[in-house]
Structure 1
Amino acid sequence: MSDAVTAAMPELRGWIGRSRVVAEEITLPAVRRIAGMLDLDPDSFGPGSTLPPHWFSLFFADVARQSEIGPDGHPRRGAFLPPIPLPRRMGAGRRTRIHGALQVGDAATKTIEVAAIEPKQARTGQIVVLTMRQTISARGVILAVDEFDAVYREAVPPGAKSASTPPVPAPDGAAWSDAILLDPVLVFRYSAVTWNSHRIHYDADYARDAEGYPATVQNGGLTMHLIVDAALKRAPGPLLGFTARLRRPLFVGQTVTLAGAAPQDGKMAAWAAAPDGTLAAEMELEFGA
C-alpha cells in the first residue's frame, strides 16, 4: 500500500456509513430528453408513465458548484466523495436489486451511503475500491437498491499509456447480438443527461495527455445501460436485478458488440465485446416469471 493511502486510511474509514439524501422530481421534460438520447420516441412518455426499471441511474446527479470541480472534471474529493489520495477514478461495476420503477411526476429520493473503502494492490498498481450503496425510493416504497463500485488509481507517468487488465476473449456461442456505435454525440448526450463532467469522456487531449488513453473513453455507466437495454429485448420476464463488471475500457467512436446467452432458470449472461473481440464488460441479469 502506498504511503499516501496508508496515511489516509484512518480518515477514510471514518467515511464508511456516512449517508446523504438527493431529491429528484421525475419531470416529463427530463424523461423525454432521456428517451431521445436512447433513440426512443419522446412523445411515448406522458404524465404518470412508468419508466424502464433501470432508468433510476439516469437521475439524482450530484450538482457541484463550478468552484468544487477538480482537474479531472469530477467534484473535488471531500465534498461529495471521500478524499481518496489517488487521482484517477473509473466505474468498475455494480450489484442492483429492482423492486419497482419510477414514474413521471414522482417526487423521488436517492439515499447514498459509503458502504466500503478497500485498498488493494492490482496488476495495474495501487488501487482503492470505493463502494457506494444507493437506495431509490418514491411513493413511500423502495424501488431499487444499487451498490456501485468505483476504482481510484495512481497517476500515469508523463508519456506513458494507461495500464489495464490482460485481455480475455468474449464468450463464444451468443444467442443474440447487437452492433452498437459508440457515437460521440450519444456519449455527450449521456454525460449531459447524467451531469457527468469527467473529462476523459469528451476531452481527447486530456484523456491522452493526462490519463494515458488513446482516445476519449466510453462512459461505463452507458455501457451497462446499453447492455441492459439489449437484454430486455430478449427478456423472459420483468427485470429483478443484475450484476455488472467493467473489465477493460472502450473508446468513443468504436463499434462494439452487445451479446448474450439464452435465458436459463430466469437468468441471462450478457456482455460487451470490443472491436478486437476482447471482453469489455460482463453482466448477469435476473428476471421474474
Structure 2
Amino acid sequence: MSTHLDAELLAHLQTWQGRSETWEDLLTPAPLRALSATLDREDALPVAGTELPPLWHWLFFLPHHRQSDIGPDGHAKRGGFLPPVPLPRRMWAGGRLQWHAPLKVGDTVNRVSTIESVTHKAGRTGDLVFVLVKHQLHNAHGLCLTEEHDIVYRPAAQPSDPVPAPVAAEKHATWQRDITPDDVLLFRYSALTFNGHRIHYDRKYVTDVEGYPGLIVHGPLIATLLLDLVRRHTDLPVRSFEFKALRPTFECADQRILRVCGEPDAQGSTIRLWAQDHEGWLTMQATAELGKPF
C-alpha cells in the first residue's frame, strides 16, 4: 500500500473532522482490582463509591470489534469512527486531561468522542498524520472529565530512515521508581485494556514487520505509571495532566529497566514527570497539577 498522501486523499481524511460517537459504560470494580495487581499495589478492594484513580478510566469504554474486523496489526481495520489513514504504524503520542468531578465505581458514564482535527506533516521519514480526538465523560451529576487524545500515523520503517538523536533524561529526581516492563506486564496491560495491537506482545511481528528492536511498552501504561508515582507520594488528587511520548520504550526480553521520575515544585502542587529507558534516554515527559479533594 502506498504511503504517499496527496491533497485529494488528505481532504478525504479530513471529512472525518467533526464526527462523534457516544458510548455508555458501567464502572465496575473488577478491572480496578486487576490493574492494582498489575501495578504491584496493595490497594483496598474497590467497592461502590470508590473513586477511580487518575487515568484508570482507560479500563472502560474498550473497543469490542469482531475478530473478522481486526487488521494485520491487531487493531481494528481502518475506517469507522477514526479516519482510514493508509499509514501502517499507529501510536498514541500524548494527551491532555482535566478532571472536573470524580468518577466512581458504580457510576454509569457516557463518553462523547469527537474527531477535532486531522492534520498532515512531512517528517524525516515521510508523511505523518495526526488525529486529535476529544473525549468528554459524564455521569449522572454532569461532566467529570475532558480528555484530548493525540494519535499519530507513520509510514513503515526503512533501513535508510534517519534515527533522531535521543535526549538524556535528568539524572536526579525527588521521586523515582524502577519498573521492569517485561512481556508479562505488557501482556497483562494489553488484556486489561483489550488492546490487540501486536507491537506489545508479538516480538516476531514488531521486529520483522514494523522494524522495531523489540516489544514496545504502551504509552498509556507509562503515563499511568507516572501518575501512580504521584499517588505513592501524595494524597492530593490530580486535577490536570498532560503527557507527550518522545521515544519508544522497548522490553527487548532482557530485563531492561524503565524509570519513572517526579519533581514537585516548592508548593507541591505542580509535578514535573518523566520516564527514561535503561540507557537514560528520555522517553516521556508530563506535568500533573494537583488540587484539593472534590
Asked if TM exceeds 0.5, the reply is: yes
CA 1:115–1:165: 2 relative to 1, 3 Å = farther
TM-align CA RMSD? 1.9
State the alpha-carbon separation in 1 of the partners of residues 76 and 92 from structure 2.
Answer: 15
- Counterpart residue number, 2:284: 281
Offset from partner CA, 1:215-274 (integer Å, 9 cap, x none): 111111101110111023234732111110000000124211111212345211110011
Q: How does 1:74-223 map to 2 (within 5 A)?
A: 74-157=75-158, 160=159, 165-223=164-222
Q: How does 1:188-267 map to 2 (within 5 A)?
A: 188-235=187-234, 237-252=236-251, 253-265=255-267, 266-267=269-270
TM-score by structure 2 length? Answer: 0.91
Is contact 2:32–2:56 with CA below 8 Å preserved after alignment?
no
- Alignment coverage as a number of residue pairs: 286
TM-score by structure 1 length? Answer: 0.93
State the alpha-carbon separation in 2 of the partners of residues 4 and 53 from structure 1.
Answer: 37
Is contact 1:244–1:281 with CA below 8 Å preserved after alignment?
yes
Identity of aligned residues (%): 35
State the alpha-carbon separation in 2 of the partners of residues 221 and 162 from structure 1.
Answer: 26
State the alpha-carbon separation in 2 of the partners of residues 131 and 225 from structure 1.
Answer: 20
State the alpha-carbon separation in 1 of the partners of residues 212 and 146 from structure 2.
Answer: 32
Is contact 2:181–2:256 with CA below 8 Å preserved after alignment?
yes
Deviation at 1:32, TM superposition (A): 2.1
State the alpha-carbon separation in 2 of the partners of residues 204 and 16 from structure 1.
Answer: 35
User: What secondary structure is seen at the aligned counterpart in 2 of 1:82?
Assistant: coil
State the alpha-carbon separation in 2 of the partners of residues 178 and 99 from structure 1.
Answer: 29
CA 1:162–1:31: 2 relative to 1, 3 Å = farther
State the alpha-carbon separation in 2 of the partners of residues 100 and 164 from structure 1.
Answer: 43
- Counterpart residue number, 2:66: 65
Q: 2:165 corresponds to which letter in structure 1?
A: P
Which range moves more in the overlay, 55-64 or 216-225? 55-64
- Counterpart residue number, 1:10: 11
Is 1:268 the counterpart of 2:271? The answer is yes
Which range moves more in the overlay, 70-79 or 101-110? 101-110
Offset from partner CA, 1:106-141 (integer Å, 9 cap, x none): 111211110111101123332111111111111231
- Counterpart residue number, 2:25: 24
User: What secondary structure is seen at the aligned counterpart in 2 of 1:186?
Assistant: helix
